[in-house]
Chains A and B, each alone.
Chain A
Amino acid sequence: MALLGFLILFPLVVAAVLLVVRNNRARSAIVGASALVIGLASIWLVATYLGAPWVTFDFESPLIDYASTAVSVLVAAAILYYGIRYKNVLACVLAVIQVAGSLVFEFGFAHSIDVTEALYLDSLSLLMAFIIGVIGSGICVYALGYMEDFQAHEPEGAKDRRPVFFALMFVFLSAMFLIVFSNNMVWMFTGWEVTTVCSFLLIAYTRTEEAIKNAFRQIIMNLLGGLGFLAALYLSAIQLGTLSFLEFLQIGIQNPALVVLPVCALAFAGLTKAAQMPFHTWLLGAMVAPTPTSALLHSSTMVKAGVFLLVKLAPVFLVCPVPSVMVVLVGGITFALCSFMAISQSNAKRVLAYSTIANLGLTTACAGVGTPEAVWAAAFLILFHAIAKSLLFLCVGTAEHHIGSRDIEDMDLLFDRMPRLARFMMLGIMCMFIAPFGMLVAKWATLVSFVDTGQVALILLLAFGSAATFMFWAKWLGKLSGIAGQPANVEVTVHKSEWTAIVVMAVLVVVGCVCLPIISQLVVEPYVYSVFGVLGQDIASTNLWIASIAAALIAIVLFAGLGRGKAKKAEVYLAGVSADNEARVYRNSLSGESAATSRNMYLDGIFGEKRINPVGTVACAIVIIVAFGFSAITLPGLF
């Protein structure tokens, strides 16, 4: 238990130190060392409790209860401050409601309810701890080099606000650890709100008009979700008389009719945090932030808190149809439509954002289905998405600083310009969508679990969404792989800290994919067993091993096999007379010179945001409203 406390508190201490340290080298040393400590501590935690089905820790402290309420109030006060400063009425109103709500709750209801086992740990928490501890702190290390370049690009005399930036990153980690380890729902709520406000501050970091606007969009949507969480706390305390998450789940499993509304409210909170339609716009807006922020929000934290909560609720969804249908439909529709919209994007970060939302949608749908097999798939979706997406974000961030653009079209010839980076990026992309890598194995399990439960609508959404996924990843992969001429290598100036983080992620991708059967056996299956009492895994282990071997083979080819062909070099065919074949320049029909260039297809007329976005927003909003309508009817005493 000391380890849990350490993981939650240590990042806070680091954050406090970073806030006052203004020296660059000292900061680098502190961030590097503490990232290593957090990473090792979380690995140690995983190793210690590997395979443990369910551990709770007797721990209660009214002091911490008060402290967590105080933090909630502080969070709301901070939002209020910014809301007034930037004259955003809606944010202020929501913040006031939340302050009032949490104060009334703490002193009116929660005080009388004891949660004797405030901390707990199971295999899913371990998985999350690994993601937060290793990937999250890896991103912090990456940020060192990135933010140095970022600061260099800032106008002369701009205030160096990096101390705040790094402090926020570590507070984020701490809040995430709090969410995944808390059994006391009030503490969990505190962590939840802290992540919201941290990401608000991180998104608004550049203080441009657009950044402020997007940050407020984020805070408004997530405060709405937070109110959902708060409502669930009220309902749980009043109706069920408990604030222990485990007890809440057990009551829900045994007596689903009782918990329809609180589960709906919690699921709503999860959906907003996981940026599901119609709340997906906050995640797209978050792209204005520096890349490490996007990486942190997308891969290891924030959105993962949302799906974590939903996966935790999965056993309740299994027996409780109203919230289940809501989550399944919202997740499924989000997956398909966001995959479609990703086709129409040429901005690499927007493609990544849409793909994140889509994959979170799939995870959400799995959680909503709630069978052991679906939960198995969801756990792997979370893991591989975290690893591969952080790798991709870090690569795009580095590429952006060296080629001056985050547009996929400008990544032409990256294979020669940044040979190592391009290969890492290709690895990340392949891990996201193609067999035999982790994401596809998880998607496969997802498909099987949908079939087994007769979720015909989900099969439809998955099939069409997957086809779109192939399209937008394959064309990006193709762009990266292009080889022509000998463009200058611009890779030599990449910071060491960036390489460290990228290599760590790439190694994790390969190890994760190759060791998938082992991870399944040691981490994911114990969780599924501890929750459902049965083993749910619908891919024969032989097939997992075939995938594992094939993944290893591709990784070897990618890093050792490419570029070794011994064939004589030939020129490409340009249908006429080449003026400069290396640069694809030919003599045109007017005896002038033209360069042959091509852009990828974006099919904007079919899959453009303008066409798809309103459909998804309206459909998902209707689903959520109807679900709440239904669950309100079930509330005893309301009608």
Chain B
Amino acid sequence: MSLLFALIGTLAFAIVAPVLGCLLAGLDRKITARMQGRVGPPLLQPYYDVRKLIEKDNVSVNSSEGTYITCALVFTLLAGGIFYSGGNLLMSVFVITLAGLFFIVAAYSTRSPYAELGANRETLQVMSYEPMVLFMAVAFYMAAGTFDSAGVFALDAPVVTSIWLVFLGLLFVLTIKLRKSPFDLSYSHHAHQELVKGITTEMSGKTLAKVEIMHWCENVLFLGWVGLFFVWANPLSIVLAIVVVVLVYFLEIWIDNNFARVKWQAMLSSAWAVAFVAGFVNIAVLAYL
């Protein structure tokens, strides 16, 4: 993979991921509404929301917040670009963490009591899911023999056959990463769960629009990680991966609608316990057996 390839990948991701992510978000809201016995908004509602946010007046509590969020968005796109252009999975993980850090710092920089609380919780969320995500990358490497996501196309069988335990662990932390209840501690999609608006409390207009777009792209990237488990040399496997991704997304929506938010202690201990059992055991088995 050359630098140019990663760059092209990033540009392509920057165009495709927001579209896909927006549709996914719209689908999420429709399905959620149906689960609650409502009709729900149009499929394109997230798109309307973001367009409206861009139209809003340009105000900010300080002169740095917007810059941090732009950085977060750019690095999210880079992370997606690296992953979908067949690049290094671990690199993608690290860069998306960097994007997360910029998001956190943006909230801290406002020094607003509510945003800061959200930032604190977001930091805890990162700490909770990080071990499992690292285990995922490591287990993928052990199963596929490479960190490059393109490496799956050379496999005889999808990696999920040997690291299904890690896959289950990933599903668990995916709830945190997709900001779904019960682990939507820092920033919830649902107003009724939220203390003001958590980490995004002070963000408005264009800045909030960037956060939304970043969130769409993040989701597309994370679901890509899920799909990666089911792809092998057979080109049809991509269809299988997409089906699995859709099912997983539906599962996450179902979880979102059926569980109340937990305390951070429960999130941290359960996520680390799952990482230990699923990630560590699976890696130990791969290494020693």
A and B touch in the complex (CB under 8 A): yes
Chain A interface residues toward B at CB < 8 A: 412-413, 415, 430, 434-436, 440, 444, 447-448, 451, 454, 456, 459-460, 462-464, 466-468, 470-471, 474-475, 477-479, 481-484, 540, 542-543, 545-547, 550, 554, 557, 561-575, 584, 596-598, 600-601, 606
CA distance A571 to B98 in the complex (A): 28
Docked Cα-Cα span, A575 to B113, in Å, equals 10
20 contacts between A and B (CB under 8 A): A430-B101, A447-B134, A451-B141, A451-B142, A463-B138, A474-B105, A477-B101, A481-B108, A482-B109, A483-B63, A483-B64, A484-B111, A550-B75, A561-B67, A565-B60, A568-B58, A568-B59, A570-B61, A572-B110, A598-B113
Q: Say yes or no: is B35 at the interface (Cβ < 8 Å to chain A).
A: no
A546 near B82 with CB under 8 A, answer: yes
A193 to chain B, nearest CB (A): 41
Contact partner of B64 among A434, A565, A572, CB < 8 A?
A: A565
In whole angstroms, how far apart are the Cα atoms of A277 and B14 in the complex? Answer: 47
With an 8 Å Cβ cutoff, the count of chain B residues facing the other chain is 72
Q: Is the CB of B3 within 8 A of A568?
A: no
Contact of B97 among A435, A554, A568, A573 (CB under 8 A): A435
Contact status A475-B120, CB under 8 Å: yes
Q: Determine the chain A residues whose CB is within 8 A of the CB of B134 once the complex forms.
A: 447, 462-463, 466-467
B106-135 vs A, CB cutoff 8 Å, 1 = contact: the mask equals: 011111111111011001101110110011
Residues in B76-91 with C-beta less than 8 Å from chain A? 78, 82, 87-88, 90-91
- Across the interface, which residues of A come within 8 angstroms of B101, CB to CB? 430, 434, 470, 474, 477
B31 is an interface residue with CB less than 8 A from chain A = no
Residues of B within 8 A of A545 (CB): 3
**Residues of chain A within 8 A of B104, CB atoms compared:** 474, 478
Residue of A nearest to B201 (CB): A573
Residue of B nearest to A563 (CB): B63
- Bound CA–CA A547/B109 (angstroms): 25
Cβ-closest chain A residue relative to B10: A546
The number of inter-chain residue pairs (CB within 8 angstroms) is 199
Contact A584-B130, Cβ < 8 Å, known A460-B280, A542-B6, A565-B66: no
Closest A residue by C-beta to B279? A463
> With A454-B288, A572-B202 in contact, do A471 and B123 touch (Cβ < 8 Å)?
yes
A463 pairs with B130, CB closer than 8 A: yes
Contact B71 A550 (CB under 8 A): no
CB within 8 Å for A470 and B126 given contacts A477-B105, A565-B60 = yes
A570 B59 Cβ-Cβ under 8 A? yes
By a CB distance below 8 angstroms, the chain A residues around B276 are 460
Instruction: Please report B residues at the A interface, Cβ cutoff 8 Å.
Output: 1-3, 6, 57-68, 71, 75, 78, 82, 87-88, 90-91, 94-95, 97-98, 101, 104-105, 107-117, 119-120, 123-124, 126-128, 130-131, 134-135, 138, 141-142, 147, 196, 201-202, 204-205, 268, 272, 275-276, 279-280, 283-284, 287-288
Measured CB to CB, the nearest residue on chain A to B115 is A572
Is the beta-carbon distance between A573 and B202 smaller than 8 angstroms? yes
Cα A481 to Cα B112 in complex, Å, equals 12
Partner of B287, one of A454, A479, A554: A454
Measured in the bound complex, the distance between the Cα atoms of B127 and A475 in whole Å is 11
A563 and B64 in contact, given A434-B97, A456-B288, A545-B3 (Cβ under 8 angstroms)? yes
Min Cβ gap A28→B in Å is 37
Closest-by-CB residue of A relative to B126 is: A470
Contact B97 A601 (CB under 8 A): no
Distance to closest chain B CB from A382 (angstroms): 21
The residue in chain B whose Cβ has the minimal distance to the Cβ of A600 is B120
| Residue of A with least CB distance to B265 | A606
Instruction: State whether B67 touches A562 (Cβ < 8 A).
Output: yes
